[in-house]
Amino acid sequence: GNRNWDPYIPQTLQDAYDAGHRKLLMVTTSAYSCYSSCRQYREDIGMALTETGLDGRLEVDKVRQYFDHPGFVEPFIEGTAAGIADVRAQLAAAGNPDAPVHVLFATHSIPTRDAEAAGRSADEPRQFAEDSAYVAQHLATGGEVMRRVEAESGLAAPWSLVYQSRSGAPHVPWLEPDINDAIADLSKQGVKGIVIVPLGFVSDHMEVVWDLDTEALETCRELGLAATRVPTPGTHRRFVEGLVDLICERTVANNIRDRPAATDLGPWYDVCRPGCCANFRGEKPTIAGADTTVGAGHDAYPAGGEDAR
């Protein structure tokens, strides 16, 4: 089900219920923790259950945020190593084999207020880097990607986290630096090669193809920089296997201590902490939280028993 396109979530839930299903598990296409990439999806389901009258009749849960699941991280390791090698080959072909190369991990910018609320809860004892679980998760994953690239391929380069696709009122502060500003600054510092890694995205879509492949790479061309954009996980075998693993975590008995995580921040919570990633625009019905019962119950199964699932 989708938030902004057919099939919409309410109809998807109704169709699932009418088909005899009573328990659903949601897999989102967003790996990180913040309002727009986690809580808003939980709200979408909560509101749909309420609007359709299915709350208490249909149970819906979600998989954990998977920013550091090996199935998500390993395609970026492979792609980043190939990207560094590609840019260095471009520079060598231009007669500048020893020119500086920089890796930019790109993700969606969000309002700084939402970033500060990401992961924040009275039940969360950790202090996150940059005071934000959203930022900390990206920094930890980017650091692990670069560590593995150097360990496995011998390739190394300085790296930084940058942002893209900001929207909304210009007076509202969002996370920075913008990727195009960062590229311009690196060029002034003498960097000659740029590797763009879409770390915040699971697949190629408008914000990857336009903001990175069109605008960011055009900025590189205008500045005379060698550049490439690393693939998103998409249909990479390891990512697909990782999604299967995430589903199996919730559908078969397993020990949470055995769940794979590539950084010290994970594995992330199945059930979100009370109040985390707050919606400053007002509370809405929300599933999969320690402070909510929406989506937590279901009708008895129809004829055929639980096998009807």
Mean pLDDT confidence for 115-122: 95
pLDDT at 309: 42
* CATH for the stretch 70-229: 3.40.50.1400
Please say if the pLDDT value at position 306 is more than 80: no
Please say if the pLDDT value at position 77 is more than 60: yes
What backbone torsions phi and psi does residue 17 show, to the nearest 5 degrees? -65, -45
Transcribe the chain into DSSP letters.
Answer: -BSSSSSBHHHHHHHHHHTT--EEEE--S--S-SIIIIIHHHHHHHHHHHHHT-TTTSEEEEPPP-TT-HHHHHHHHHHHHHHHHHHHHHHHHTT-TT--EEEEEEEE--BHHHHHHTT--TT--PPPGGG-HHHHHHHHHHHHHHHHHHHHH-----EEEEEE---S-TTS-B-S-BHHHHHHHHHHTT--EEEEE-TT-SS--HHHIIIIIIIIHHHHHHTT-EEEEPPPSTT-HHHHHHHHHHHHHHHS---GGGS--SSTT-SPPSSBPTTTT--TT-----SSBTT--TT---PPP-TTGGGG-
Mean pLDDT confidence for 282-305: 88
164: Cβ contacts below 8 Å, ≥ 6 apart: 106, 107, 108, 109, 178, 179, 207, 211, 212, 216
What backbone torsions phi and psi does residue 240 show, to the nearest 5 degrees? -60, -45
Q: Assign 308 a pLDDT band (cuts: 50, 70, 90).
A: very low
Share of the chain above pLDDT 70, in %: 97
Please say if the pLDDT value at position 269 is more than 80: yes
Please say if the pLDDT value at position 304 is more than 80: no
Mean pLDDT confidence for 70-86: 99
Q: Between 40-52 and 9-18, two packed helices, what is the crossing angle to 10 degrees? A: 60
pLDDT at 229: 99
Residue with the bigger pLDDT between 308 and 102: it is: 102
> At 219, which amino acid appears?
T
Q: Assign 213 a pLDDT band (cuts: 50, 70, 90).
A: very high
Question: For the stretch 55-64, what's the b/e string if a residue is b when 16 or more beta carbons lie within 10 angstroms of its beta carbon?
Answer: beebbbbbbb
Span 103-117, pLDDT tens digits: 999 999 999 999 999
Closest CA to 232 of 65, 73, 28: 73
Look at the block and give the residue holding tokens 């390993």. Answer: 74
As given in the structure block, the two tokens for residue 97 are: 């084999």
Give the residue extent of every domain in the chain. Answer: 9-65+269-308, 70-229
Strands 193-197, 23-26: pairing is unpaired
pLDDT at 302: 83
Span 156-210, pLDDT tens digits: 999 999 999 999 888 999 999 999 999 999 999 999 999 999 999 999 999 999 9
Q: What is the mean pLDDT of the chain?
A: 95
152: Cβ contacts below 8 Å, ≥ 6 apart: 77, 81
Q: Assign 69 a pLDDT band (cuts: 50, 70, 90).
A: very high
Please say if the pLDDT value at position 305 is more than 70: no
As given in the structure block, the two tokens for residue 86 are: 């590609």
pLDDT at 173: 97
Please say if the pLDDT value at position 226 is more than 60: yes
Strand partners, 105: 161, 197
Span 7-54, pLDDT tens digits: 999 999 999 999 999 999 999 999 999 999 999 999 999 999 999 999
Mean pLDDT confidence for 268-276: 94
